Amino acid sequence: MDPSRRLDAASTALLTDSGVDLPAALRPANWRVVPLSIVFGDESLRDGIDLDAATFYRRLAAADRLPTTAQPSIEDLATAMRAALERFESVVALHLSEKLSGTAEAARAAARAVGEDRVMVLESGAASLALALLCLRVQARLEAGTTAGELAAAVEALRAAQRTAISPETLEYLQRGGRIGRAQAVAGSLLRVRPILVIEDGEVAAGGRVRGAGRVVPALVDLVTRSTDADRVLRCAYAHAENPEAAAALEAAVTAVRPRARTEAVCDVGPTVGTHIGPGAFAVTFVHDALDG
Amino acid sequence: MADRPETALLDRLAVALAAARAVLERRARTLDDLNVFPVADGDTGTNMLVTVRAVERAGRECAEAPWAARCETLSRAALLAAQGNSGMILSQLVRGAAAALAEPGPIDGPRAAAVLRGASDAADRAVRRPVEGTMLTVARWMADGAEAAGPEAGIVETLDAAVEAGRRAVAATTDMLPALRAAGVVDAGGLGVLVLVEGLAAALAGREPPGAGPEADGPPPPADHAPSRYRYCTSFLVEGPLDLAALEAAIAPLGDSLLVMGDERRAKVHVHTDAPERAVAAAAAHGAIGAPSVQDMRRQEAERAARLARPSAPRSRCAALCLVEGAGIAVLARGLGAEVLEVPPGEAPGEGALVAALAALGAPEVVLLAARPDLTHVLEQTAAAVPGAAAVVPAASAPAALAALVALDPELGAAENAAAMAGACAGVRAGAVDADGVRLDGEPLVPAGGLREGVVLLLTRVPEAELVTVLIGAGAGVAPEEVEAWVREALPGAEAEAHEGGQSAPALLVGIE
């Protein structure tokens, strides 16, 4: 795409995938969400279409073998891009982190087939709430009007600045899905230890560990305060996998130490990411956006 | 037949190759560590990755070229980049695969089988003294499996059949090669071939690539292994008109593991030798030399051994050594990532044992702590004698030492860790319960009528406790569940956790946070 191409919310579709976990009601009209599929044994279900979060966690609890995720095909993505281009002049695609899924790579192939002059695929380095927040910050720029070059640079800057801190109930799901990465360091102990994870550069890494339920929220808040500035606006999104009380407690605790924090979204972790993080997890993602000064 | 198969398929193949490379990237270190044959220089995964990356890059760069030329470019890129035995053989697999892909006709299931057969045949031909139980075996079994899928099978079905056969082949390698059997491992290169085709199949089917969970790789292989007779793994390119047999004969006297691969125009030479410069000079008489690469296998072997000596701990900046009394406490401390030195009741650790334990840590910085407070002064003397950065965390009790270890972060330095760990200890009050009474934080004994009464009495003094950890002594004769129930009875709002500690005294060590 020509870096000087004008992009705005009326003429540009934002294409993402079901790894975004933003409630449908919060999705702007120019967003298009391509589903990944969740495979339970021989059964393949499209995230958000054949399978909602509540049903998913019920099945996850009952399954003796963990489900796997399947990325959309290049054809699926190309079809979604073509459909979007019937109503919009341009498509900006932001998919699950390439470290976690092949979707972005497939989207790039689809963009080559559809026409890279009108479709721009950007690397998000994010999943779930972090992808949601990134997409919402992109949306803010589309609404203000921007260019392809500016937007690509902004996404890169946001990706580098955005931080995510997660409390999973267990590391079992990450381990079984092969996506544990450097978080392995906080795994495996006879003592009941609660791991804290962070997403660094699109990959799961260890953020520490604590014992005792009462220490989890303070540990997550500590990760927020360590890398943010109390005087600046802080854009935040929260997410939980069937654990709304924990997410609400975390939001209250973050807002207490960062009065200029703005909650952009509270997400239910959907099946795509839920398969890998497991039920009970909750998280915060946060960024000082240059747009806020 | 068009010169170029449909663009969509090519795009899918390019994506699939990128996905397969990503899977190999995640597994590369595992393959490095598995590598014991022909030389345990621990670079199989790395070498294969170098070749695959070169192919992927070449594929991107020649995307506009005619199909047959594109296949030829991939083949050449693989040969140019090849380093090490596994990289060399992989380059030949790529060469055979590319030649089969370049043939006219539809790209379908039977073609997938033909590509795997072409790959296997090319590699078999290129290795003059083929050995079973290696990449060659796995590639051949995979071609057999793909052909057995039949002419009606689609690409994915054919590749899945090949992967199935490949898994059997990889498992069988252990018994084919004495070196693998002795180490109790599968062939690293063979596993690499399987990982690649598995990644390709998953990506073409639209499945997320297979995970790289630790359970997939089994236990790590033993660290020690017979070293190579020669020191340098040397590879370089020779361009000529070439007489491959004469080239091979010129280099053969200088070493072993010799591979000369390519054709009359261009060949890659790989040899293990003590005289890389003489090998290059011998080849220079036959053609122009390019892309030389020399790896010191002694250093690689040492690095692999060092990595494997501490398989449970990731390479880290800071390690912790914890002195404990009690087998159960030792297990808990190890589970938190500490190295443990067990000290008999009432004794101090021998100097020799302490030095040996420190030497085994393998991290540049260390934190020392003791789960028995009377040993902290021993550690202070030790820390003063340690050459690198060392810090002592004064833990007042075993539960405090465990709380400190929870705060250990191997990526931080000793000083930072010691500060965080001391903070974690400071929040822990320690209780000791015996049949005749209880003590809190070393205060005088308060009589109690038994262990249960003692626990309840102790906890009524700390009503604000949120987390109670009990370590059960060797002779206490109570089960963890029983003790946890006592704690919940005394403090319904607290989390309770009890484990066998195995200490000689007291009967129950209670950590209160």
B489: closest CA among B461, B455, B462, B465? B455
Using CB atoms and an 8 Å cut-off, which of residues 310-349 of chain B contact chain A?
314, 316, 331-332, 335-337
Beta bridge partners, A46, equal A37
Judge whether residue B3 has pLDDT over 50.
no
- Write down the pLDDT at residue B176: 85
Place B357 in a pLDDT band, splitting at 50, 70 and 90: confident
Say whether the peptide bond before residue B506 is cis (omega within 30 degrees of 0). yes
SS3 state of residue A262: strand
Judge whether residue A183 has pLDDT over 80.
no
| C-alpha atoms less than 13 angstroms from C-alpha of A18 in its C-beta half-sphere | 24
Inter-axis angle of helices B327-335 and B398-406, to 10 degrees? 10
To the nearest whole percent, how much of chain B has pLDDT over 90?
Answer: 40
* A193 vs B: CB within 8 A: yes
Judge whether residue A187 has pLDDT over 80.
no
* Residues in B touching A108 (Cβ below 8 Å): 15
- The mean pLDDT of B66-78, rounded to a whole number, is 88
What interface predicted TM-score (ipTM) does this complex get? 0.79
Inter-axis angle of helices B155-176 and B109-126, to 10 degrees? 30
Using CB atoms and an 8 Å cut-off, which of residues 92-121 of chain A contact chain B?
98, 101-102, 105-106, 108-110, 112-113
Contact check, Cβ <8 Å, B19/A72: no
- Write down the pLDDT at residue B232: 85
Contact check, Cβ <8 Å, A191/B15: no
User: How far does A12 lie from chain B, in Å, by closest CA?
Assistant: 25
B143: closest CA among B194, B74, B107? B194
Instruction: Give the separation between CA B422 and CA B408, rounded to whole angstroms.
Output: 10
Contact check, Cβ <8 Å, B335/A189: yes
Judge whether residue B311 has pLDDT over 50.
no
pTM for the model stands at 0.64
B155: closest CA among B215, B219, B200, B110? B110
Contact check, Cβ <8 Å, B213/A71: no
- Write down the pLDDT at residue B50: 86
Instruction: Give the separation between CA B429 and CA B438, rounded to whole angstroms.
Output: 13
Tell me which chain B residue has its CA closest to the CA of residue A107: B15
Beta strands in B170-253 (DSSP E): 232-239
Mutate to test the interface with A, among B204, B208, B317, B491 (most CBs of A within 10 A): B208
* Residues in A touching B497 (Cβ below 8 Å): 191-192
A168: closest CA among A187, A191, A190? A187
- The mean pLDDT of A201-223, rounded to a whole number, is 87
- Interface size A-B, in CB pairs within 8 Å, comes to 105
Contact check, Cβ <8 Å, A74/B12: yes
Contact check, Cβ <8 Å, A211/B403: yes
Place A188 in a pLDDT band, splitting at 50, 70 and 90: low
* B18 vs A: CB within 8 A: yes
Judge whether residue B314 has pLDDT over 60.
no
User: How far does B324 lie from chain A, in Å, by closest CA?
Assistant: 16
pLDDT single digits (tens) B162-179: 999 999 899 888 888 887
| C-alpha atoms less than 13 angstroms from C-alpha of B307 in its C-beta half-sphere | 19
